Chains A and B, each alone.
Chain A
């Protein structure tokens, strides 16, 4: 680890030295005249190649680290965060959903998911869904070019396309895993699998393409709705889509057996607290990594992420302290996650002080939103909607307020957020509305389909025994 960090630190220095060397070489070649030209040009080319290599090492090293961090968010992060919140008879059921989705979504991503999400942006001809250009990793993996007799190494911006594919693939994993919080403790495992396959393909891939690959919600894209939306790391693509779909899942699958009568307290909040801390760490990869290289803005996004998590945790815990008399561990843990969700779309667009404010607002609002289910009667078991749906929506809208060109001058000098006199807020709200409607409509159809074929719920007896035994023939805790 230390060696890797040292390497990361050294790479920019080496790159700078090499660039200086190139500049000096150019000076020398100009003064030396034409006779030495060929030799010098070759030297320059060699130095440039070395400088490029050094840059790539830095960017790629950072992005692969981020990729691993984002995977770490699903399990152990989310698996423990969610696992602790269910009753002990369902702890394995939840962990299995996270673990299984890590494998399942990776397979889909490799076969066709990446292509549907990120194929065909260069032509601007596919505003609704990616094309088949990267099917089966074609044009992503290294290949042999017979004509030139060399290896083809596809790139995306500053990083290998392989790294880009892997990094984005981790988002494809965690998004359906977030939804599992809504139907926890009662959904059939087989139904969860079928739903996740369909949802990933028909909700995530299109949305991802719309926002991040020049589609109908991409900022500044031709024909984008209301000019498109700013979404740095997935406020709409990940959190609103997952949160809103989760709400519909909770409503359509119905409340857990014994809801309101039985003891449904979280069985192990120590898992949940540690899981939240892991999510906090992993989120640095999620948000700062979404810069897709390592530069000054990466640091800005990292800072915004951290600050929002901090005020989110403080705000939720203090809000409870005031309203209930005591600050809870679950409140602090949920608040950190709410702050992180909220800052996700804004991470690369807002300054640290705005991030502090956004996190605090998310902490209080999401805390209140988690109380709605009791009044409205739906059973969002682990508050996937209250935290991700509400926090994501809040974040997308607040990005429209606080986004500043000082962070990312994405509109060629024009102001961005409302507070600096910009007009991106309309695009943000439009993207929120589109994402809500799209997620609700498609999720509704998918749930109906899954219900008609496999059935969504386990039987009442299986639910009573717990999913660990009834779905997996195992127990989470065997104490001799």
Chain B
């Protein structure tokens, strides 16, 4: 099993969600996050006082998925979230040692 964490643009969330759903991935978790990579922050001005805002708001999307379907999911996210501009975000993939459905106690791929 893999855990896919994708940091994406806010306005791409709907596209990514729909694309993943079309591939039969019905479960996901999203979080509002802030961070920075190559995309620079911006400056905000309040009554003439300037603040450099380094942390850019993004959405983090987490999907747990079986090994055989993970590459397809990654491709789907890339396709749906891409604009080609700096700031499109990143995808991190890690091994997932276990998953359990609380209602039934099922575990492993059964619980995804």
Stretch from B5-13, B47-55, B70-78, B90-98 at the A interface: B47-55
A367 to B45, CA, bound (A): 12
Q: Please name the residue on chain B nearest to A325 by beta carbon.
A: B45
A-B residue pair count with CB separations less than 8 angstroms: 31
Is A265 interfacial (CB-CB < 8 Å)? yes
Contact present for B51 and A263 (CB under 8 Å): yes
Does residue B68 face the partner (Cβ distance < 8 Å to A)? no
Measured CB to CB, the nearest residue on chain A to B47 is A370
Question: Cβ of B48 and Cβ of A265 under 8 Å apart?
Answer: no
Interface footprint category on B: under 10
B51 touches A266 (CB 8 A): no
Q: How many angstroms from the CA of A334 to the CA of B49 in the assembled complex? A: 14
Q: Which residues 229-268 in A have Cβ within 8 Å of B in the complex?
A: 263-266
- Whether, in the assembled complex, B44 has its beta carbon less than 8 Å from a beta carbon of chain A, the answer is yes
Bound-state Cα–Cα, A383 to B46, Å: 11
- CA A374 – CA B49 in complex, angstroms? 8
Within 8 A of B (CB), among A317-342: 320, 324, 326, 328, 330-331, 334
B47 touches A331 (CB 8 A): yes
B51-A264 in contact (CB<8A):
yes
Q: State the Cβ distance, B56 to closest chain A Cβ, in Å.
A: 14
Quick check: is A371 within 8 A (CB to CB) of the other chain?
Answer: yes
The one of B44, B45, B47 in contact with A334, judged by C-beta atoms closer than 8 angstroms, is B47
Q: Which residue of B is nearest A368, CB measured?
A: B48
Complex Cα gap A328–B48 (Å):
10
Which A residues lie within 8 Å of B46 (CB)? 265-266, 328, 330
In the complex the two chains form, what is the Cα distance from A266 to B44 in whole Å? 11
Which chain B positions have C-beta within 8 A of A264? 51
- Tell me if B47 and A324 are in contact (CB < 8 A): no
Contact between B45 and A328, CB atoms less than 8 A apart? yes
Please give the distance in Å from B42's CB to the nearest CB on chain A.
12
CB contacts (< 8 Å) of A334 on chain B: these are: 47
B45 / chain A contacts, CB cutoff of 8 Å = 320, 324, 326, 328
Q: What's the least CB distance linking A247 to chain B, in Å?
A: 16
- Type the 1/0 row for A364-388, where 1 means its CB is closer than 8 Å to any CB of B: 0001101100100000000100100
**CB atoms of B48 and A371 under 8 A apart:** yes
Which residue of chain B has its CB nearest to the CB of A262? B51
Query: Does B51 lie within 8 Å of A383, measured CB to CB?
Result: no
Report how far A331 CA is from B53 CA in the complex, Å.
19
Q: Which residue of A lies closest to B44 (CB)?
A: A265
Question: Smallest Cβ distance from B20 to chain A, in angstroms?
Answer: 27
Closest to A383 in B: B47
Q: How far is the CA of A331 from the CA of B44 in the complex (A)?
A: 13
Bound together, the chains give a CA A189 to CA B57 distance in angstroms of: 35
CA distance A334 to B44 in the complex (A): 17
Q: Which residues of A contact B53 (CB under 8 A)?
A: 263, 265
Which positions 29-63 of chain B face chain A at CB distance < 8 Å?
Answer: 44-49, 51, 53
A319 to B, closest residue via Cβ: B48
Give chain B nearest CB distance to A390 CB in angstroms: 12
Given the complex, which residues of B lie within 8 Å of A320, measured CB to CB? 45
Docked-complex contact A367 and B47, CB < 8 angstroms: yes
Distance to closest chain A CB from B73 (angstroms): 31
- Shortest Cβ gap from A196 to chain B (Å): 25
**In whole angstroms, what is the CA distance A283 to B97 when docked?**
64
Separation of A370 and B47 alpha carbons in the complex (Å)? 7
Q: How far is the CA of A345 from the CA of B53 in the complex (A)?
A: 40
Does A374 contact B51, Cβ atoms closer than 8 Å?
Answer: no
A266: chain B residues at CB < 8 Å are 46
Which of B46, B49, B51 has the most chain A CB atoms closer than 10 A to its own CB?
A: B46
Residues of the B chain whose Cβ atoms lie less than 8 Å from the Cβ of A331: 47
Nearest chain B CB to A184 CB, angstrom units: 14
Q: How far is the CA of A264 from the CA of B47 in the complex (A)?
A: 12
Closest to B55 in A: A263
Bound-state Cα–Cα, A383 to B49, Å: 11
A284 to B95: give the CA distance in the assembly, Å.
66
Question: What chain B residues lie within 8 Å of A324 (beta carbons)?
Answer: 45, 48
Docked Cα-Cα span, A324 to B46, in Å, equals: 11
Which A residues lie at the B interface, using CB under 8 A?
263-266, 320, 324, 326, 328, 330-331, 334, 367-368, 370-371, 374, 383, 386
Show 14 A/B contacts (Cβ-Cβ < 8 Å), sorted by A: A263-B51, A264-B51, A265-B44, A324-B48, A326-B45, A328-B45, A330-B47, A331-B47, A334-B47, A368-B48, A370-B48, A371-B47, A371-B49, A383-B47
Q: Besides A324-B45, A326-B45, A371-B47, 18 other CB < 8 A contacts?
A: A264-B51, A265-B44, A265-B46, A266-B46, A320-B45, A324-B48, A331-B47, A334-B47, A367-B48, A368-B48, A370-B47, A370-B48, A370-B49, A371-B48, A374-B48, A374-B49, A383-B47, A386-B47
The list of the 3 closest CB pairs from A to B, nearest first, reads A371-B48, A370-B47, A265-B51
